[in-house]
Each structure stands twice: as structure tokens, then as C-alpha cells.
Amino acid sequence: MYIDTHSHLNSKVLYEKLEEVIKEAIDNQVELFIVPGFDFETSVIALELAKKYPFVYAAIGYHPTEIKGYGEKEYKWLEEHINDEKVVALGEIGYDFHWDTTTKEEQTEAFVRQISIAKKAGKPLIIHSRDAIQLTLDTLKETNAKMVGGVMHAYSGSLEMAPLFIKENFYLGIGGPVTFKNAKEIKRVVEVIPLEHLLSETDSPYLTPHPYRGTENGPKYIPLIVDEIVNIKGINKEEVAKILLANAKKLFKLE
Ligand code: NI
């Protein structure tokens, strides 16, 4: 059995054909899903899906590029729902300087505020970090995010920085890019970092693994990612799947 720890079943494209997406995943032994919100609306949908399906868990939170104009209403909703038993994490939150819809100050304010909500509830964090890896690490340290830990979703930092996140109690999310031929650094990360610190994820509908790159991603492709981890590490497939599942269950406290 596999788990997809980062699947946007709450995104428009996957939500529109949800039953089909879930069936194809289950046909490929992907039987547990964590659905992270990226704005208010998709956080509400993530929670709805978690209530509807026993095998779906929600994360709620606001992505750094989506927080423009967010205020009391949105943050109060997070505080009111973070303790729900099907909400297993706060996220995805963090920094993203690839786009310029929000300033660094706005992103910092939203990030720190959400970390504090997670700490109060004792729930782990799902971190998005783009063009901001050092700043992300600094913020996690300054806010003592170690207390709850979490996952560096779609980890794209260097091998050298990986242990620094692990030291702060964070797992590394491994997705489609590990299957790309030219993705040397993430392959090195998977080779060197013990399996006990990795999580399997697709970030679907984005980051589709090889050989389907360029088409829509779905949780059904988790086995392609696990296969690549198996190839790189040279460990037996059942063992890899078992450990990746155990890691997710431990971090997100799944039954
Ligand atoms: Ni995401």
C-alpha cells in the first residue's frame, strides 16, 4: 500500500473527476491521501473531502502567493478547524519568490502566524519553499517549528542543506522531479539521506513524473516515484513502501 502525502484533490482539475482520480489511484495501490489546502476555498474543500472519505486526510493553510487581503476571517477559520480530527497538518505554507503577487513582508507575516496556530494545536506543518530555502530554514528555526515538525514538500534544496531541515524535525517530500533525468541533486538527496526521513508525494496535478511529464499528474503515479527511490537506494520495493507509509503515519498521526 502507498500513500500520497501531497495530492491536490481539491484543485479544480482533479476535483471535477474525483471519483475517477481516486479509483485510478486505488487500482495502483495508492490508498491513503493527504490533501493540502493552498487558499481559503481549497482548505474548506480539503476538509470536506476528509469528512467524506475515510482514506482522505486534510491539511489546511494558506500558500504564500494566495494570502493577499487575508485577515481575521481566514485566520480565525484556521484556528477553528485545525483541531478537527481529520485535519492532520497545517499547510501548505511557506515562501515563494518565483511570483510577485505578495511581498516578502506579507509572506513572513502569514507564515509566522500560521506556524503559531499549528504549534498551539500541536499539528505538523506542510512547507512550500520556492527560491527561498535559506530564509525558510531561518524562519523555521526562529519560530521553533521543531516543536511540531512537518515536511519540506517537494524538497528542492541541496544535499548539504537536507540534514539541517531534518535536525529541525522535518521530513523531505519526494515527488515527480526525482524521476527526471537531469534532477541530479534530488537523486543525490535520496541516495544519501536515510529512508526514515523521506515521504512519498505527487503534488498532483503538478510535477508529473517521467515518462508522463507534460501531462496531468495524479496520485496514481506514486508507484513511479517509489520505483525511482527503490532504484536509487537499491532496497527492496516492499520495504521501501512499508517505511514510507510508516513515516507518514508517524508524522501525521494516522491510525
Ligand atoms: Ni501543493
Taking the centre of ligand 1 as the mean of its atom positions, its distance from the CA of residue 24, in whole angstroms, is 20
Residues 6+ apart with CB under 8 A from 122: 148
What integer pLDDT is reported at residue 100 of this predicted model? 85
Question: What does the DSSP assignment read for 41-81?
Answer: HHHHHHHHHHHH-TTEEEEE---TTS-TT--HHHHHHHHHH
State the distance from the centre of ligand 1 to the C-alpha of 92, rounded, in angstroms.
6
Q: What is the pLDDT of residue 76?
A: 98
Euclidean distance between the first and the last CA atom of the chain, given in angstroms as a whole number: 14
Mean pLDDT of the chain: 98
CA of 205 from ligand 1 middle (Å) equals 9
* CATH number where 144 lies: 3.20.20.140
Please give the pLDDT value at position 26. 98
Percent of the chain at pLDDT exceeding 90: 99
- Going from the Cα of 202 to the center of ligand 1, the distance in angstroms, rounded, reads 9
Tens digit of each residue's pLDDT (9 = 90 or more) over 129-151 = 999 999 999 999 999 999 999 99
Distance (angstroms) between ligand 1 centre and the Cα of 6 equals 6
In angstroms, what is the span from residue 89 Cα to ligand 1's centroid? 13
Residue 226 has a pLDDT of: 98
Query: What distance in angstroms lies between residue 142's CA and the mean position of ligand 1's atoms?
Result: 24
Average pLDDT over residues 112-122: 98
**152 Cα to the center of ligand 1, angstroms:** 11
**Number of structural domains, the chain?**
1
CA of 38 to the centre of ligand 1 (A): 7
Tens digit of each residue's pLDDT (9 = 90 or more) over 173-192: 999 999 999 999 999 999 99
CA–centroid distance, residue 37 to ligand 1 (Å): 8
Residues 115 and 147 sit within 8 Å (Cβ to Cβ): no
Å from CA of 7 to ligand 1 middle = 7
CA distance 72 to 30: 37
Q: Is 255's pLDDT higher than 90?
A: no
72 C-alpha vs ligand 1 centroid, how far in Å?
A: 24
Which tens digit of pLDDT belongs to each residue from 60-102?
999 999 999 999 999 999 999 999 999 999 999 999 999 989 9
* Set of cell numbers at residue 163: 540534514
φ/ψ of residue 242, rounded to 5 = -65, -45
Distance in angstroms (rounded) separating the CA atoms of residues 72 and 53 = 30
Q: Say how many Å lie between the CA of residue 36 and the centre of ligand 1.
A: 7
CA of 64 to the centre of ligand 1 (A): 11
156 HSE (CA, 13 A, CB side): 18
Angstrom distances, CA of residue 87 to CA of 37, 43, 80, 97, 159: 11, 10, 11, 28, 31
Please give the residue range of the domain that contains residue 61. 2-252
